[in-house]
Amino acid sequence: AQSVTQLGSHVSVSEGALVLLRCNYSSSVPPYLFWYVQYPNQGLQLLLKYTSAATLVKGINGFEAEFKKSETSFHLTKPSAHMSDAAEYFCAVSEVYSGNTPLVFGKGTRLSVIA
């Protein structure tokens, strides 16, 4: 069974500082991995995805994530935080090879950006 663990339910950074949101996964087959962002009172928006191509994945809004198989990790980073980055971030995994693609989500990390 697949699962996702996000370390830290709440991360607070200063504007302009590095953003690092941690995600570790467990999967019995090579997974597809995703980061989604949820702004208040909105649905989820895909930030970036890893689908077995390049291990360093670039997404929207300056975010990127690196797939590290040896560490079973897919941490999300952004060099310089902006106030507009304040939101809830979800890491998710999908075992595409099983024939269907429902997503398994982590518990989420709330990012606060301090001016």
Nearer to another protein, 17 or 103 (CB): 103
Q: How far is the CB of 53 from another protein (least distance, A)?
A: 11
Contact between 49 and another protein per CB under 8 A = yes
Structure tokens at 49: 């995805």
Contact between 59 and another protein per CB under 8 A = no
Q: Which of 26, 36, 33, 27 is nearest to 5 (CA)?
A: 26
Q: Which of 42, 55, 61, 80 binds another protein (CB under 8 A)?
A: 42
Nearer to another protein, 87 or 106 (CB): 106
- Give the number of residues in contact with another protein, rule: CB under 8 A: 24
* Four-residue CA torsion sign, 3, 38, 54, 11: negative
Q: Tell me, what amino acid is at 84? A: S
DSSP state, residue 30 = P
What is the SS3 assignment for 23? Answer: strand
Instruction: Please give the residue ranges that form the binding site for another protein (CB under 8 A).
Output: 32, 36, 41-46, 49, 51, 90, 94, 96-97, 99-108
